[in-house]
């Protein structure tokens, strides 16, 4: 493997009594889609926010695109794109203006329409950002994450709260970003999402990595240990029924 | 610098589209001023006097004309019933009835002198008092003229204040001060804390945009808005209400801008500290920023050094006493100290996200 684009060694972070991250280590290769999985409160978001330069770790080291996050958080921010959980864009701007605004923050001139076209939002360019649907807003935040032509983008629970159509649409978008050679680190608690998108996943629980491998390997390992599902695996599930009945077409108006 | 200018321009664009912000910072103060103006609080020392002239002779005409010539009085003539009705509707402050036997002649021994009957509007005691004083004065002057005597004691009055000021002349500096404060503190604190709660500031801080540039742009925007607000309010005060500014209008602009900076730094300190918008009013209820005469003695030193106290004092001195910036240097220094301390606190303690 060549030099990893993200490398994390023994990262720890404590909030008062709670130890959110207890010694996490992993690396991500350039061009990979890497998933951090885990139940709520497992430490995914804290780990990602440390990598994004938004929080300081108590100990351990993290580097992104060859830059030590603790030493030069601004340098890291300049090279990554982010989509944060529980964040919002400033109000009273159109979709296009939001992209331009973030162009100002990165101190570069951007072709906002071209970026919106990449996330299929060009027809919403002059619409107020507040009026976008959930799926459209997630796509806008991906367009914003691409403003600075990053080498890595961080997506924190990008599909939470979206309907099945919008989720699938976002998956396609993530795959197109990966196809352009951009490394993607995403967190999710949807396992089907990880299975579809991720080259490798790390499963985190109570601040520790409990498994790290490609999804297929993890499944094969489990089966290899003699695991069988108590119920017969169906050839389709309820989501397939839902999509069959309602189609893959996006509903956003 | 280019980044700061570009971001400030974007902030201005959003501000203009934010109807509630425009309403609270520009229209509301304007409405305040118009309402105060319409209520005619400016006509504080002005008396509307109804005259019922039942004598209708040369002497009564002379007397009424003399009254009409007095600047503080608006004299209206009418029939008794009509004037009394107007009095009860507060269209008159007082009504004076001149009896049929009114004449200006030396009194005959034993005979009674004509008696003016005054109907007073008890809701306008102050105006009535002024009107009575004017009547007494005119009666005395007329008496001396008619009896060809001189007063035994004379009163001379020296005009101390060169310009006659109305209530509105005192009111406007106060409105200016309050508005500068409300825009600088309330609007900054509410807008920024709301953005903080929604995670907007966190999102911005995930970019390489430097916090100092962010704060500078926000301060610049508010400073631009403050100056526009002051210009509009001052313009309306000067042109519509003919408010007299004894000192220099430029000095007023300098002072209010300095006041804005002081309040802005306080507003940013508050916005940096507060985690929810609910904490903003709490801070104000503490009373630190309201200079008041009824504060407990213990808090008096604090209220005396509140930024609004400095600003109001200085603006009032310039506007009503014709003071120069040098004359109010103590207040200017006070505002400068607040600005510096506020700025240091804001930079040191500004938190971009809720914990």
Q: Which residues of B touch A93 (CB under 8 A)?
A: 10, 13-14
| Cβ-defined contact of A87 to B3 (cutoff 8 Å) | no
Q: Is B245 or A104 the better-scoring residue by pLDDT?
A: A104
Distance CA B188, CA B194 (A): 10
Q: Of B13, B17, B207, which is closest to A106 when you measure between CB atoms?
A: B207
Query: What is the model's pLDDT at position B347?
Result: 78
DSSP secondary structure, A191-210, as one string: HHHHHHH-SEEEEEETTEEE
Q: Which residue of B has its CA nearest to A129?
A: B14
| Cβ-defined contact of A74 to B14 (cutoff 8 Å) | no
Q: Is A204 or B24 the better-scoring residue by pLDDT?
A: A204
Alpha helices in chain A, H assignment, sequence order: 44-51, 73-79, 95-105, 112-118, 134-145, 164-179, 191-197, 215-224, 238-246
**A121: confidence class by pLDDT, cuts 50, 70, 90:** very high
Q: Is A106 on the interface with B (CB under 8 A)?
A: yes
Q: Which helix (H) or strand (E) holds A18?
A: strand A18-28
The 3-state DSSP class for residue B354 equals coil
Q: Is A105 on the interface with B (CB under 8 A)?
A: yes
Q: Of A53, A75, A87, which is closest to B203 when you measure between CB atoms?
A: A87
Distance CA A102, CA A112 (A): 10
Query: What is the model's pLDDT at position B3?
Result: 92
Q: Which helix (H) or strand (E) holds A184?
A: strand A183-188
CA distances from A66 to A6, A28, A78, B39, B126 (A): 8, 12, 13, 70, 81
Query: What is the model's pLDDT at position B156?
Result: 64
Q: Average of pLDDT values for B102-110?
A: 80
Would the pLDDT of B75 be above 70? yes
Q: Average of pLDDT values for B236-247?
A: 78
Collect all residues with Cβ–Cβ distance below 8 Å to B128 and sequence separation of at least 6. B47, B93, B94, B120, B121, B122
Lowest-confidence region among B80-89, B115-124, B146-155, B311-320: B146-155
The mean pLDDT of chain B is 80
Q: What tokens appear for B164 in the block? A: 């006659």
Query: What is the model's pLDDT at position B44?
Result: 53
Q: Average of pLDDT values for B71-95?
A: 87
Would the pLDDT of B100 be above 70? yes
Q: Count Cβ atoms within 10 A of the Cβ of residue A9 and give its class: 0-12 exposed, 13-18 middle, 19 or more buried.
A: middle
Query: What is the model's pLDDT at position A126?
Result: 94
Q: Which residues of B touch A82 (CB under 8 A)?
A: 206
Q: Is B170 or B101 the better-scoring residue by pLDDT?
A: B101
Instruction: Tell me the per-residue pLDDT of A218-248, one tens digit each, with 9 for 90 and over.
Output: 888 888 887 777 766 677 787 788 888 887 7
Lowest-confidence region among A188-197, B74-83, B232-241: B232-241
Q: Of A86, A90, A148, which is closest to B195 when you measure between CB atoms?
A: A90
Instruction: Tell me the per-residue pLDDT of A141-183, one tens digit each, with 9 for 90 and over.
Output: 999 999 999 999 999 999 888 888 888 989 999 999 999 999 9
Identify whether the C-beta of residue A95 lies closer than 8 Å to the C-beta of residue A129: yes
Query: What is the model's pLDDT at position B355?
Result: 64
Query: What is the model's pLDDT at position B239?
Result: 82
Query: What is the model's pLDDT at position B288?
Result: 43
Identify whether the C-beta of residue A194 lies closer than 8 Å to the C-beta of residue A9: no
Q: Is B5 on the interface with A (CB under 8 A)?
A: no
**A60: confidence class by pLDDT, cuts 50, 70, 90:** very high
Residue pointed to by tokens 């704060």: B215
List the A208-213 sheet strands across, edge first: A80-83, A152-156, A183-188, A33-37, A200-205, A208-213
Lowest-confidence region among A96-100, B114-118, B315-319: B315-319
Q: Which residues of A touch B200 (CB under 8 A)?
A: 87-90
Give B278 to chain A, closest Cα distance, Å.
20
| Cβ-defined contact of B14 to A82 (cutoff 8 Å) | no
ipTM: 0.88
Query: What is the model's pLDDT at position B279?
Result: 66
Q: Average of pLDDT values for B143-168?
A: 64
Identify whether the C-beta of residue A7 lies closer than 8 Å to the C-beta of residue A66: no
> Would you give the distance in Å from CA B67 to the centre of its chain?
31
Query: What is the model's pLDDT at position B104?
Result: 82
Instruction: Tell me the per-residue pLDDT of B164-207, one tens digit each, with 9 for 90 and over.
Output: 556 666 667 777 777 777 777 777 888 888 888 889 999 999 99
Q: Which residue of A has its CA nearest to B12?
A: A92
Q: Count Cβ atoms within 10 A of the Cβ of residue A141 and give its class: 0-12 exposed, 13-18 middle, 19 or more buried.
A: buried
Q: Of A77, A82, A87, which is closest to B200 when you measure between CB atoms?
A: A87
Query: What is the model's pLDDT at position A231?
Result: 67
Query: What is the model's pLDDT at position B126?
Result: 74
Q: Is A185 or B312 the better-scoring residue by pLDDT?
A: A185
Q: Of A78, A101, A107, which is closest to B10 when you measure between CB atoms?
A: A101
Distance CA A239, CA A196 (A): 15
Q: Is B15 or B157 the better-scoring residue by pLDDT?
A: B15
| Cβ-defined contact of B200 to A89 (cutoff 8 Å) | yes
Instruction: Tell me the per-residue pLDDT of B290-338, one tens digit each, with 9 for 90 and over.
Output: 445 555 666 667 667 778 888 888 888 888 778 888 888 999 999 999 8
Could you tell me the sign of the dihedral formed by the alpha carbons of A79, A85, A87, A93, in that order? positive
Partners of residue A59 on adjacent β-strands: A12
Distance CA A228, CA A85 (A): 35
Identify whether the C-beta of residue B116 lies closer than 8 Å to the C-beta of residue B97: yes
Q: Of B3, B17, B353, which is closest to A92 when you measure between CB atoms?
A: B17
Q: Which residues of B touch A75 (CB under 8 A)?
A: 208
Would the pLDDT of B286 be above 60? no
Query: What is the model's pLDDT at position B157?
Result: 57
Q: Which residues of B touch A107 (CB under 8 A)?
A: 2-3, 208
Distance CA A136, CA A166 (A): 8
Q: Is A86 on the interface with B (CB under 8 A)?
A: yes
Strands annotated E in chain B: 47-53, 73-77, 94-98, 117-120
Q: Average of pLDDT values for A59-79?
A: 94
Give A57 to chain B, closest Cα distance, Å.
15
Q: Count Cβ atoms within 10 A of the Cβ of residue B314 and give its class: 0-12 exposed, 13-18 middle, 19 or more buried.
A: buried
């Amino acid at each position: 493997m060549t030099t990893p684009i993200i490398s994390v060694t023994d990262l720890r972070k404590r909030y008062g009594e709670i130890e959110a991250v207890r010694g996490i280590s992993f690396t991500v290769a350039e061009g990979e889609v890497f998933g951090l999985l885990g139940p709520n409160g497992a430490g995914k978001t804290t780990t990602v926010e440390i990598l994004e330069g938004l929080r300081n770790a108590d100990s351990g080291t993290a580097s992104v695109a060859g830059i030590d996050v603790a030493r030069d958080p601004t340098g890291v921010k300049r090279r990554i794109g982010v989509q944060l959980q529980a964040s919002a864009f400033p109000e009273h701007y159109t979709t296009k203006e939001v992209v331009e605004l973030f162009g100002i923050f990165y101190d570069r001139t951007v072709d906002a329409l071209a970026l919106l076209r990449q996330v299929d939002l060009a027809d919403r360019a002059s619409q107020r950002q507040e009026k976008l649907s959930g799926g459209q807003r997630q796509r806008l935040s991906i367009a914003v994450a691409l403003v600075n032509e990053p080498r890595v983008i961080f997506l924190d629970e990008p599909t939470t709260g979206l309907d099945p159509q919008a989720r699938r649409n976002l998956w396609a978008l993530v795959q197109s970003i990966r196809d352009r050679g951009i490394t993607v680190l995403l967190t999710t608690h949807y396992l089907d999402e990880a299975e579809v998108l991720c080259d490798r996943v790390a499963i985190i629980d109570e601040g520790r990595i409990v498994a790290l491998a490609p999804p297929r390997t993890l499944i094969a390992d489990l089966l290899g240990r003699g695991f069988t599902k108590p119920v017969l695996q169906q050839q389709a599930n309820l989501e397939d029924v839902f999509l069959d009945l309602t189609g893959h077409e996006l509903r956003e108006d | 610098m280019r980044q700061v200018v570009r971001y400030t321009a974007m902030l201005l664009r959003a501000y203009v589209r934010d109807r509630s912000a425009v309403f609270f910072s520009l229209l509301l103060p304007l409405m305040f001023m118009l309402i105060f103006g319409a209520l005619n609080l400016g006509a504080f020392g002005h008396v509307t006097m109804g005259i019922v002239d039942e004598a209708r002779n040369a002497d009564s005409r002379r007397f009424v004309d003399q009254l009409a010539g007095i600047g503080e009085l608006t004299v209206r003539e009418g029939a008794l019933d009509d004037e009394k009705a107007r009095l009860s509707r507060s269209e008159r402050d007082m009504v004076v009835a001149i009896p049929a036997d009114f004449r200006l002649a030396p009194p005959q021994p034993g005979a009674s002198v004509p008696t003016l009957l005054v109907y007073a509007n008890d809701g306008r005691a102050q105006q009535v008092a002024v009107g009575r004083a004017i009547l007494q004065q005119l009666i005395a002057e007329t008496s001396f003229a008619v009896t060809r005597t001189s007063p035994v004691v004379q009163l001379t009055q020296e005009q101390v204040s060169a310009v006659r000021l109305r209530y509105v002349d005192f009111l406007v500096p106060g409105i200016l001060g309050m508005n500068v404060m409300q825009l600088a503190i309330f609007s900054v604190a509410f807008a920024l804390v709301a953005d903080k709660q929604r995670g907007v500031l966190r999102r911005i801080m995930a970019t390489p945009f430097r916090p100092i540039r962010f704060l500078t742009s926000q301060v610049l925007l508010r400073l631009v808005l403050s100056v526009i607000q002051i210009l509009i309010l001052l313009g309306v005060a000067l042109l519509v209400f003919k408010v007299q500014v004894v000192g220099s209008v430029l000095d007023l602009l300098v002072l209010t801008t300095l006041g804005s900076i002081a309040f802005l730094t306080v507003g940013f300190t508050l916005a940096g500290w507060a985690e929810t918008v609910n904490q903003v009013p709490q801070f104000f209820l503490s009373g630190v920023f309201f200079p008041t005469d009824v504060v407990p003695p213990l808090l008096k030193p604090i209220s005396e050094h509140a930024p609004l106290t400095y600003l109001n004092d200085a603006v009032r001195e310039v506007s009503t006493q014709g003071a120069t910036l040098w004359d109010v240097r103590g207040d200017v220094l006070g505002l400068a100290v607040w600005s510096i301390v506020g700025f240091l606190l804001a930079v040191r303690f500004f938190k971009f996200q809720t914990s």
